[in-house]
Structure 1
Amino acid sequence: MKGMLTYDLMETARNTNEWLGATARAMASYPAFGLAPHPFFNVVAAWGEVTERSFARMVAKPDWGIRSVVGDDGRDHIITVETLVTKPFGNLIHFKAAGRPPKPRRVFLVAPMSGHYATLLRSTVASLLPDCEVYVTDWHNARDIPVSEGKFDIEDYTLYLVDFMKFLGPDINVIAICQPAPLTLAATAYLAEQEPEAQPRTLTLIGGPIDPDAAATDVTDFGRRVTMGQLERSMIQRVGFKYRGAGRLVYPGLLQLQSFISMNGERHGKAFTDQILRAAKGEAGDHDQHNRFYDEYLAVMDMTAEFYLTTVERLFKRRVVARNVFTVGDKQVDIGKITQVAVKTVEGEKDDISAPGQCLAALALCTGLPDSKKASHLEPGAGHYGIFAGKSWRDNIRPLVLRFIDDNAENGAPMKAKPAIRAV
């Protein structure tokens, strides 16, 4: 079966490294070695601790870890994550603050499906919760989805976003971060033509590849030089029997993680070396800065093969969104049909994944939208991560996005909360 052996070999290698780390940590920590204290044993134990934790995180789904939020009344309100819409490949979730009246600002965060879980946006969610009702797409790991659930490509992804926006209602403010930006723009245009009364109020696109050719990066260069046949042969594997999605063709998260690390290999290598030395000296903590970052960064998920391949072929190679020729089924999506939704783009000056210009291209595609409903922002000195989760987001971008939402808000009371439903 195609790729099942290589998939299991990757999992075997990961499992073996986790075991080696645990073994080194346990053996070098024997009390007997205290009779002959030597830094060697501390370093071996530290190497084992860091190695075991790192490889174990690669198959763990992180928790959101958002416990409470301070309300306008000065009290802590407990946060619970409730599922509003359940679908095979992803859910719509809501961060509910117990005992707090609903906030008039309602924000729908579209999380990337690019190898990491939606929890990558944890700090983004936490920063918005004091001022907004926050809803997020919680995408599922493809390895855990049975083959009987069928395919999931970029057209299915777009229709999921359409369904989520229809459920949330026209007073919702959509924020798409990175990978989903072009498909979120397409979903908004789809609604504008098919069900205009269900369009969101505002759409903010942050660091997304609307037009990958607008500015070259390593990502766009890879998309140009590799053929689809090469991608399918080298990247696509079949889930092994260990998981519920056994037999499903996927782009493994472990391969994506390898690509992420290779882009900044020297920096990651130094980070792990420094952490081992800190652990050997007893200076590392369970929730220190290194572990907080890498516990999330190393937790990866598989994507369906059809989603990965159609993303590369249609969005990067054929540029169907950039050329405004994207289709969903037999319907062509015309971005020029967006005439009411205010659109804002946000880019980072030093973004090496979606370079400045790629996201800004969205505004030129919105030919039916007046200039008064268009806005853009280029954050000086900010990289890709910083524009949605770092200091640049907290200090500069978040206030600008909230002001953009308020400037395009309509007077009136917020919509009443809708009951949770289950959708097939």
Structure 2
Amino acid sequence: MRFMATYDLMETMRNTNQWLGATAQAIAAYPAFAMVPNPALQWMGAWGEVTERSFARMVAKPDWGIHSVTCADGRDHLVTVEKVIERPFGDLIHFNVQGREEKARKILLVAPMSGHYATLLRSTVQSLLPDSDLYITDWHNARDIPVSEGKFDIEDYTLYCVDFMKELGPDVHVIAVCQPAPLVLAATAYLAEMEPDAQPSTMTLIGGPIDPDATPTEVTDFGNRVTMGHLEETAIQRVGFKYAGVGRRVYPGLLQLTSFISMNLDTHAQAFQDQIMRAAQGQASDNDRHNRFYDEYLATMDMTAEFYLSTVERIFKDGEIARNEFVVDGHKVDIGKVSDVAVMIVEGEKDDISAPGQCLAALDLLTGLPDSKKANHLEPKAGHYGIFAGRAWRDNIRPLVLDFIDQNTRKGGAKLKVAT
């Protein structure tokens, strides 16, 4: 219960700060104060506005906000988000672009489960929608999943990816961004052995920790330095009474957010100070650059304890993917069995999370894949975020990935139904 009490204490602190912000904003807007203008009241109202919005966003799931897309015919086509497969821990969703001709490219974008929602890839989705029939994994917040739904670790994550690929058929092109790269590689190897006809046409792995020790970073050093007992004691809590997942052991999103912000504390502090000044001067807006970024950045989600702990232990500490020793549902997968899936690796020169070399290690594991089906690209001066959502992605990487997909499209093949 002490872990549940800690979870509720964090939520209480968040809720209190949200209330304080809303209260300050309301007091500063009191009509009687307008008779005696005071800059301090403007500052208090601005502080309240920024504070209330920030703490409220920490428990809100962002909306995709993609309502239409301009296609090759020059017309704007409405976009609807449809669930193709619904599962307790994550759904497969489809961006249905209404009224346009069917696209030859069918892409499955595998979003990371690393503290943020799949909407973190909103700009990636927007860049791919005009030229492809796009699907994405939409992972759920663990706090909202009842304990009765059972566990969810990296093996379950891998099997979810297997089922999603089977549903979409062998003509699908898979793009895995960051965290899921090693598990998507394992899922493809699993299919290569168990159901080879269900393998995707291509697989693009972007900035993922296939071999975290290939080029160590602060992230990998932490994984090697911390003990599992210490990590479980300090990072894992039980969901409090406010949510449907009450009692579930999780790595809380609020705790993750504390870690994210502490890595660049001075930068974030300055950003919020500047936003308060803009709000006080009437220059802030609901959809300005600050709010667009932090509405997404602050919206964190809980991860199941077993997923977080198994990721650290099996991917980072034991290097099961890097050593080709990964086991899924009692079956040891052999990455060398992948022989008919074209694979592209994308890395960023300035990536300080998955440094160059970590993702490239996948090509050495694909011993059964001819060199003609392997490709890699190192984007100069690009950081982690830039290789899948920034200017480097839009201007340089996206065209290369789409060309790679077109050159390696596998025609034909019906999709394989999966159990629900």
Q: TM-score range by the shorter chain?
A: over 0.9
Separation in structure 2 between the aligned mates of residue 145 and residue 195 of structure 1, nearest angstrom: 30
Alpha carbons 1:84, 1:93 under 8 Å: kept? yes
Q: How many residues align?
A: 420
Separation in structure 2 between the aligned mates of residue 385 and residue 30 of structure 1, nearest angstrom: 42
For 1:16-415, list aligned pairs within 5 A: 16-410=16-410
Q: Kindly state the Cα deviation for residue 35 of structure 1 after the two structures are TM-superposed.
A: 2.1
| SS of residue matched to 1:3 | helix
**Aligned counterpart, 1:5:** 5
After superposition, what is the alpha-carbon deviation per residue over 1:256-296, rounded to whole angstroms, capped at 9, x for unaligned? 11111111111111111111111111001100011001000
After superposition, what is the alpha-carbon deviation per residue over 1:136-169, rounded to whole angstroms, capped at 9, x for unaligned? 0000110010101000000000000000000000
- Runs of 4+ in structure 1 off by over 4 angstroms are none
| SS of residue matched to 1:55 | helix
Alpha carbons 1:92, 1:136 under 8 Å: kept? yes
After superposition, what is the alpha-carbon deviation per residue over 1:153-204, rounded to whole angstroms, capped at 9, x for unaligned? 0000000000000000000000000100000000000001111000000000
Alpha carbons 1:86, 1:422 under 8 Å: kept? no
| SS of residue matched to 2:131 | coil
Q: Kindly state the Cα deviation for residue 422 of structure 1 after the two structures are TM-superposed.
A: 9.5
Q: Kindly state the Cα deviation for residue 329 of structure 1 after the two structures are TM-superposed.
A: 2.1
Alpha carbons 2:204, 2:344 under 8 Å: kept? yes
Matching residue's letter, 2:364: A
Separation in structure 1 between the aligned mates of residue 219 and residue 20 of structure 2, nearest angstrom: 33
Unaligned runs of 5+ in 1: none
Separation in structure 2 between the aligned mates of residue 301 and residue 86 of structure 1, nearest angstrom: 18
Matching residue's letter, 1:18: Q
Matching residue's letter, 1:31: P
| SS of residue matched to 2:155 | helix
Separation in structure 1 between the aligned mates of residue 419 and residue 38 of structure 2, nearest angstrom: 60
**Cα distance, 1:152–1:103 mapped onto 2, change above 3 Å:** same
**TM-score normalised to the size of structure 2?**
0.98
Separation in structure 1 between the aligned mates of residue 182 and residue 160 of structure 2, nearest angstrom: 14
After superposition, what is the alpha-carbon deviation per residue over 1:330-356, rounded to whole angstroms, capped at 9, x for unaligned? 210110011110111111111111111
Separation in structure 1 between the aligned mates of residue 263 and residue 217 of structure 2, nearest angstrom: 11
Matching residue's letter, 1:264: N
Separation in structure 2 between the aligned mates of residue 10 and residue 221 of structure 1, nearest angstrom: 28
Q: Kindly state the Cα deviation for residue 71 of structure 1 after the two structures are TM-superposed.
A: 2.0
Alpha carbons 1:85, 1:423 under 8 Å: kept? no
**Cα distance, 1:197–1:67 mapped onto 2, change above 3 Å:** same
Separation in structure 2 between the aligned mates of residue 2 and residue 308 of structure 1, nearest angstrom: 20
Q: Identity rate of aligned residues, in percent?
A: 73
Q: Kindly state the Cα deviation for residue 213 of structure 1 after the two structures are TM-superposed.
A: 0.5
After superposition, what is the alpha-carbon deviation per residue over 1:29-63, rounded to whole angstroms, capped at 9, x for unaligned? 22222222222111111111000000000000010
| SS of residue matched to 1:81 | strand
Alpha carbons 1:58, 1:254 under 8 Å: kept? yes
When the two chains are superposed, the root-mean-square deviation of aligned CA atoms in Å is 1.5
| SS of residue matched to 1:212 | coil
Matching residue's letter, 1:375: A
Unaligned runs of 5+ in 2: none
Alpha carbons 2:170, 2:410 under 8 Å: kept? no
**TM-score normalised to the size of structure 1?**
0.97
Q: Kindly state the Cα deviation for residue 217 of structure 1 after the two structures are TM-superposed.
A: 1.4
Separation in structure 1 between the aligned mates of residue 240 and residue 69 of structure 2, nearest angstrom: 41
Alpha carbons 2:167, 2:418 under 8 Å: kept? no
Separation in structure 2 between the aligned mates of residue 214 and residue 39 of structure 1, nearest angstrom: 55
**Cα distance, 1:423–1:35 mapped onto 2, change above 3 Å:** farther
Matching residue's letter, 1:119: T
Alpha carbons 2:112, 2:178 under 8 Å: kept? yes
Q: Kindly state the Cα deviation for residue 80 of structure 1 after the two structures are TM-superposed.
A: 0.4
Q: Kindly state the Cα deviation for residue 241 of structure 1 after the two structures are TM-superposed.
A: 1.1
Separation in structure 2 between the aligned mates of residue 423 and residue 277 of structure 1, nearest angstrom: 54
Matching residue's letter, 1:336: G
Separation in structure 2 between the aligned mates of residue 23 and residue 374 of structure 1, nearest angstrom: 58
| SS of residue matched to 1:129 | helix
Alpha carbons 2:346, 2:376 under 8 Å: kept? yes
Matching residue's letter, 2:386: G
Separation in structure 1 between the aligned mates of residue 14 and residue 231 of structure 2, nearest angstrom: 23
Alpha carbons 1:84, 1:422 under 8 Å: kept? no
| SS of residue matched to 1:383 | coil
Separation in structure 2 between the aligned mates of residue 211 and residue 257 of structure 1, nearest angstrom: 25
Alpha carbons 1:85, 1:422 under 8 Å: kept? no
Separation in structure 1 between the aligned mates of residue 34 and residue 22 of structure 2, nearest angstrom: 19
**Cα distance, 1:422–1:215 mapped onto 2, change above 3 Å:** closer
**Cα distance, 1:241–1:411 mapped onto 2, change above 3 Å:** closer
Could you tell which deviates more after superposition, 34-43 or 251-260?
34-43
